[in-house]
Structure formats: C-alpha cells, structure tokens
Amino acid sequence: FEYLRDDALDARNHFDSFRAVDDSVVSEGPKSKLSQHQFGGSIGGPIVKDRAFFFGSYEGYHLDAGQNIIEAVPSDLAWSRAVPAIQAVRPAFTSGGAAVLPGASTDPLIDIVQLQDDQKVREHAFSGRFDMRMNQSWSFYTRVFHDQGTNDQPDGVTGRRKHFTDNPTNAVFNL
C-alpha cells in the first residue's frame, strides 16, 4: 500500500499568512512544505497445511513538513533598556532565519517573530508471527514487533530543535 500527501496537491495552509489583531495580513510567507508517504505491505500463509502458518508485515512512514512558528520576543526598544549582562543573551532569542512581523504587536516592548522551518520524521515498523498446531490439544505462536523511528523538528523561533529516536521491540510466546 501507499498513501501520499504532498504540498503540490494541497492548498496554502491558513497559517502561512500571519494576520494581525485587526485581521489584516501582516506577512505572506512561503507555502508550507509537505511530503508525507505511508507505505508497506503484508504477507502470510501456510507453511505446512493445517499445522504451521506465518505472517509478516512492514510499514514505512516518511514526513517532511513545514512548521510555522510565531512567538513574542523582546523588541529593540526592550533590549535597549536591558542591563548589559542581559543584552549578552539577545542572540539566543531568535535564529537568523526568524523574521519580525511589522505591525503585528501593539506593545512597543514586544516584537512578534515568525520562523518557518522543517520537521523530518522517519519510521520503519516490522512484525512477524509464526503459529503451529502440534496436535489437537497443543498449539503455540510467537510474535515479534520492532519499530525504528526518528523525529527532528524545530522548537521555537530561537532555532533550537528537538530530536527524538525511538526503537521499541517486543515479543510474545504463547503455548
């Protein structure tokens, strides 16, 4: 199977355009990136007629998605009033790719900042099962599942990122 979503097939995301309090468009950003693929398959059948059976499956998931992050940060006026020791941390408040949205804030000490960045998710899941009937009274099965996944995504206008890795495995044996 294959399930596909792509930005070429979608309309512009409502949040790609930032709107001010009076609902006027303050910033018309680029269309958010989206490429999502979910794919895989399964197979199963008898190994020995009426006695032993197998089943296996695989599922993959790939996502490349644009993230639109909007946050309030101290304005130039606010930074000019800060003590020198605090001014040293100013670069940590926004990344180089963040854009100030003019007119988005009514407070002179606050700027509204927008950052468009990408999230990347990769996941691969595998499962297998084996069933066997030994006689009329006894049977057993075993099942194994393994998943490998990573997620890398922006976490605010500072440019910091979150990265997750997940690799769970479980198995069951039943007699």
Q: Does residue 121 contact residue 62 with C-beta atoms inside 8 Å?
A: yes
Quick one: which H or E segment has residue 117? strand 110-133
Token pair in block for residue 48: 């020995």
Alpha carbon 30 to chain centroid, angstroms: 19
pLDDT for 2 equals 96
For each successive 10 residues of the chain (175 residues), what is the average pLDDT?
A: 90 67 64 91 96 97 90 88 85 78 83 88 98 95 98 90 95 96
Beta strands 52-74 and 99-100, pairing class: unpaired
pLDDT on residue 87: 82
Write the DSSP symbol of residue 16: G
pLDDT tens readout for residues 16-55: 666 655 666 666 667 778 899 999 999 999 999 999 999 9
For residues 115 and 154, the answer to whether their CB atoms sit within 8 Å is yes
State how far the Cα of 132 lies from the Cα of 146, in Å rounded to an integer: 22
- Write out the two tokens for 8: 């070429």
Q: What contacts 24+ positions apart, CB below 8 Å, involve 133-141?
A: 133/50, 133/51, 133/52, 138/175, 139/175, 140/173, 140/174, 140/175, 141/172, 141/173, 141/174
Write down the pLDDT at residue 37.
95
Q: What per-residue confidence (pLDDT) applies to 24? A: 66
Burial status of residue 72 (CB atoms within 10 A of its CB: 0-12, 13-18, 19 or more) = middle
> Residue 33: its pLDDT value, please?
86
The Cα–Cα gap between 145 and 56 comes to 10
